[in-house]
Amino acid sequence: MESANPFGHVKKDITVDGQTYHYYSLPDLGDERIQTLPFSIRVLLESAVRNCDEFNVKKADVETILSWKESSEQDLEIPFKPARVILQDFTGVPAVVDLAAMRDAMTRLGGDAQKINPLCPVDLVIDHSVQVDVAATQDAREKNEELEFSRNQERFAFLKWGQSAFDNFLIVPPGSGIVHQVNLEYLARVVFKTDGVLYPDSVVGTDSHTTMINGLGVVGWGVGGIEAESVMLGQTISMVLPKVVGFRLTGTVNPGTTATDIVLTLTQLLRKRGVVGQFVEFFGPGCTSLTLADRATIANMAPEYGATMGYFPIDEQTIEFLKMTGRDSHNIAFTEAYLKAQGLYRTYDGTQPDPYYSGAIMELDLTSVKPCLAGPKRPHDRVELSNMKADFNSCLRNPVGFKGYNIAEDKLASTSKFTFNGAEYELSHGSVVIAAITSCTNTSNPDVMLAAGVLAKNAVAKGLKVKPYIKTSLSPGSGVVTRYFELAGVTPYLDQLGFTLAGYGCMTCIGNSGELHDAVSEAITKEDIVASAVLSGNRNFEGRVHPLTRANYLASPPLVVAYALAGTTNIDFETEPIGQDAEGNNVFLRDIWPSRDEVQKITNSVIKPEMFKEIYTKIAQGTERWNNLVAPSGKTFQWDESSTYIHNPPFFQTMTKEVQPVASISNAFVLCNFGDSITTDHISPAGNISKTSPAAKFLNGKGVQAKDFNSYGARRGNDEIMARGTFANVRLVNKLVDKPGPKTLHVPSGEVLEIFDASAKYIQEGQATIILAGQEYGSGSSRDWAAKGPYLLGVKAVIAQSYERIHRSNLIGMGILPLQFKAGESADSLGLKGTETFTISTPDELSLGQEATVISSNGVAFTARIRLDTQPEITYYKNGGILPYVLRKLLA
């Protein structure tokens, strides 16, 4: 049972502008260890002290955090209670669906449905539904948003129902911006004020790039939708107290480099170091030369460098950003006063000692950063701009892999001619067919966005043009970007090059790039051209941006414009012109590239607090389309069985009040046998629904025509479609079949089937299945359907060489057992082909640090580590998942 907070004696008063608040004072703990703690760990400490009740959070947990230097080396668990939850619509819809289904289950089991309600503030930003159906026209945004509403009316009406049915639930309507930028500019509190108590803002989100808020000094990271739902229902997060890598930044940024160049450099360095499951905390004099937007760009890509967070402690820049974005002056005053009183305010004037960090401190002299991109298939494969042409040509010849396509020597010079709008064009390897200024990584950063605008202006002045078949688009993070583009006078030039406003949403970076023109698609396919996409996003995994762009490069917004002008990634900008002016003279990139100082002067002149207040006041009022949307009412949702968007999931329909014994896994077949780096993009349904897929057949059976299939993301609220789209990635490499794609071997019959069809056959035959995998299984975005989907396919366990943090947690959240091969062992090294059956024996009483015995039908026996890393994870697994556990707890 809960008891009085044993740290009540450190509850102090602070008076700001005549108003008195309370706070739990860390300095008053009188513990010298606090001064050596990283700032990010101090936030975890404050939460533990404030929420200590000797039940959910114990005094021993506070001691564990105070002893961070030692305990972080021992994989000890601590509870953490975030202040709020943030959702985007793709991941948010299933969360609301689950809450609605839990209300039904609560009623069925005799409980109070009203207990299923968010107990902390939950914000949902609808930003993932809009697609680049129309591009490079003045009415592109209007048409794309119109299509977005017509496709997603059911989902939006359901979410609007949720806003009225649940307490503490705010929806930012479509057309407002990208979740992370809206979070940064509007939703983030930095310091919370609840019932007169001040405490640090902290957040978990159902998008892995929630880490962008770390640039504002807010502790937060991405979790699966399953974990977020439990936080919404008042649970603490159980987490292993992380190591914190200290990263000292020195020097200043060169005039020719951008924040994107810095983050791609850091991503490569940190991936090489290996920081999965760890915090990275940036410090040092170089931080003072980075704008808040630069910091947010770096923090955003923490998932790409593998860290849980990329944290910048709060300092003077944070306070200035709050002022710049029009936050309430009294809130800013108590925020600064509280943080300084708590020892959570960072300075670089030499008066504050650096904290202790885990292992060797990393360093980067910002002066050494060079312009670069990342690709062609992974965000941490950095390529210096000066080496792009050589690297791309090497990729063409290299064996198939992350840096190779294995193009035959006689096909290297292949071209494909086509007619577009009455003119003749020709594609070759490297031809750019998509150029998108998109995604949260960069579109929150005025410097890189205005650099793109100035570059466009300079290019137009030289008479340069973009080939009309290249799909160019601009999808900024908020309406503020549009406003400062207008004030800077660059909008007409971006428009002339085709970078017209396509909508406010993630769009191209998540695969919502829309279709290429038929003539372009046919030309690529006809000669097997390695076509390129260049985007200012954070993800470029194979098959993600568009099925026909095999080379996908992450770049700064100005470089996106540059490559659109060049029309190819097979170019050396140092020695080859980007184009010719009206007189036929060569124009090089250096002739039109704006300097960082030039851009910052423009930034300083156009960014005003008033524009933030104006834009976000309108958002709070809702858009006309959203306000006119008719939604259901009532505390429980009335499910429509004919709906192909929203469906009552099976997760709770047969759940009992009592915990059932954990079922053994006997004679399980292998559904898929994977190698390394299977991402959640490979597992979770994403992108367009293929017309030949099981999901398409299901929709056809429901009378839905192909033109109305929409995307998997838009249909995440329907488990029947999502199950059919699990493992549906066209680039999926499964060792049980000969070529990439969503197929597998149904071992008993010897048939090669769609993965869903094979799983349905196994389930019908009463046979359990497992998955074999290599390193980094489940890397990429935090996607609950990457765990929910395999659960619905009947997968009982995964045996992998290693896991990405969020995905392992989500597997447990769905009652799937994650097992890990011993170091040096793999399915291949043990001689396993995946055609065997497997019996997995776990101890009768599960505890931490145990192993399971695995015996295959061909006589191979081995032990695997049971990756239930915390006591709550064991409890969740025994309950069949985290949500059944929460439901049983609320029933009790």
Residues 749-775 have pLDDT tens digits of 999 999 999 999 999 999 999 999 999
With a CB cutoff of 8 Å and minimum separation 6, the contacts of 543 are 681, 687, 729, 730, 731
Q: For residue 132, give the nearest of 122, 145, 123 by alpha carbon.
A: 145
Question: Which residue carries 């770096």 as its tokens?
Answer: 298
Q: What is the average pLDDT across 654-669?
A: 91
Question: Average of pLDDT values for 26-49?
Answer: 97
pTM metric for this prediction: 0.85
Predicted pLDDT of residue 781: 67
Find the mean pLDDT for residues 303-312.
Answer: 94
123-167 pLDDT, tens digit per residue, is: 999 988 889 999 999 999 999 999 999 888 888 999 999 999 999
Mean pLDDT of 315-330: 96
Tokens 């000066």 appear where?
A: 386
Of 386 and 508, the one with more pLDDT: 386
The 3-state DSSP composition of the chain as helix, strand, coil percent (nearest 5) reads 40, 20, 40
Q: Which CATH number fits domain 372-609: 3.10.310.30, 3.30.565.10, 3.30.300.30, 3.30.499.10?
A: 3.30.499.10
The three-state secondary structure class of 404 is strand
What span, in angstroms and rounded, lies between the C-alpha atoms of 332 and 97?
Answer: 37
Q: Which residues contact 106 (CB under 8 A, 6 or more apart)?
A: 112, 113, 115, 116, 887, 890, 891
Residue showing tokens 């008993």:
748
Contact 498, 135 (CB under 8 A): yes
pLDDT score of 783: 78
CB 581 within 8 Å of CB 567: no
How far apart CA 231 and CA 233 sit, in angstroms, is 5
Q: Check residue 606 and give its pLDDT.
A: 95
What is the rounded average pLDDT of the residues 33-50? 98
- Residue 832's alpha-carbon distances to 103, 421, 797, 853, in angstroms, are 44, 54, 16, 15
Round to whole Å and give the CA distance between 732 and 739.
Answer: 9
User: To which H or E segment does residue 162 belong?
Assistant: helix 140-165
Q: Residue 796 is inside which H or E element, if any?
A: strand 795-800
User: Contact at 8 Å (CB) between 474 and 535?
Assistant: no
What's the mean per-residue pLDDT of the chain?
93
pLDDT band at 511 (very low <50, low <70, confident <90, very high): confident
Q: Which residue has the higher pLDDT, 238 or 169?
A: 169
The average pLDDT across 637-658 equals 92
How far is it, in rounded angstroms, from Cα 229 to Cα 154? 22
d(CA 607, CA 611): 8
Question: Do 83 and 120 meet the contact criterion of CB atoms below 8 Å apart?
Answer: yes
**Which of left, alpha, beta for 498 (phi over 0: left; psi -120 to 50: alpha)?**
left
Q: What is the DSSP letter of 834?
A: S
Of 522, 530, 536, 514, residue with least CA distance to 435? 536
- 3-state SS of 464-483 is CCCCCCCEEEECCCEHHHHH
Q: Which residues, in sequence order, are CB contacts of 316 under 8 Å at separation 6+?
A: 347
For residue 1, the model assigns a pLDDT of 56
- What pLDDT shows up at residue 784? 84
Q: What percentage of the chain carries pLDDT values higher than 90?
A: 79
575 CB burial (10 A radius; 0-12, 13-18, 19+): exposed
Q: Which residues contact 450 (CB under 8 A, 6 or more apart)?
A: 484, 485, 488, 490, 599, 602, 603, 606
Q: Are 61 and 52 in contact (CB under 8 A)?
A: yes
Q: Where are the domains of the chain?
A: 8-80, 84-192+200-368, 372-609, 665-891
**pLDDT of amino acid 420:** 96
Whose CA is closest to 673, among 851, 831, 850?
A: 831
Q: In 369-407, which positions are buried (b, 16+ CB within 10 angstroms) versus exposed (e)?
A: bebbbbbbbbbbbbbebebbbebbeebbeeeeebbebeb
- Strands of 11-16's sheet in order across: 11-16, 19-24, 197-200, 191-194
The angle, 0 to 180 degrees and rounded to 10, between the axes of the packed helices 89-108 and 140-165 is: 20
Predicted confidence band of residue 806 (pLDDT cuts 50, 70, 90): confident
**pLDDT at 459 > cutoff 60:** yes
pLDDT digit string (tens) for 393-448?
999 999 999 999 999 999 999 999 999 999 999 999 999 999 999 977 777 789 99
The pLDDT value recorded for residue 782 is 62
Supply the pLDDT for residue 256.
Answer: 84
CB 142, CB 136: distance < 8 Å: no
- Residue 535 CA to chain centroid, in angstroms? 16
As a CATH number, domain 84-192+200-368 is 3.30.499.10
- In angstroms, rounded to a whole number, what is the distance separating the alpha carbons of residues 318 and 295? 10
DSSP letter at 79? Answer: E
User: Per-residue pLDDT tens for 263-292?
Assistant: 999 999 999 999 988 999 999 999 999 999
d(CA 398, CA 143): 42
328 sits in the region (left: phi over 0; alpha: psi -120 to 50; else beta) called beta
- Work out the average pLDDT over 447-460: 96
Tokens of 890: 């609320």
Distance CA 607, CA 123 (A): 26
**Fold match, 372-609 / 665-891:** no
Q: Residue 707: which pLDDT band, with cuts at 50, 70 and 90?
A: confident
Query: What is the band of 17 on the pLDDT scale with cuts at 50, 70, 90?
Result: very high
* Bridge pairing between strands 244-250 and 362-365: parallel
- Could you tell me what percent of the chain has a pLDDT over 70? 100
> What integer is the mean pLDDT of 529-555?
93
Q: pLDDT confidence of 889, banded at 50, 70, 90? A: confident
Q: Assess contact for 856 and 770: CB atoms under 8 A.
A: no
Residue 520 CB neighbour total at 10 angstroms: 24
pLDDT at 2: 67
Q: What's the whole-number mean pLDDT along residues 597-612?
A: 92
Taking the domain 665-891, which CATH number applies?
A: 3.20.19.10
In angstroms, the CA 691 to CA 864 distance is 40
Fill in the DSSP letter of residue 651: T
Whether the pLDDT of residue 13 is over 80: the answer is yes
Per-residue pLDDT at 505 exceeds 60: yes
- DSSP code per residue over 683-694: HS--SB--TTSH
Alpha helices per DSSP H over 793-836: 805-813
| Euclidean distance between CA atoms 364 and 437, whole angstroms | 27
- Is the separation of the CB atoms in 864 and 796 below 8 Å? no
Inter-residue contact 17 to 26 (CB < 8 Å):
no
Spatial CA neighbour of 261 closest among 366, 372, 368, 363? 372
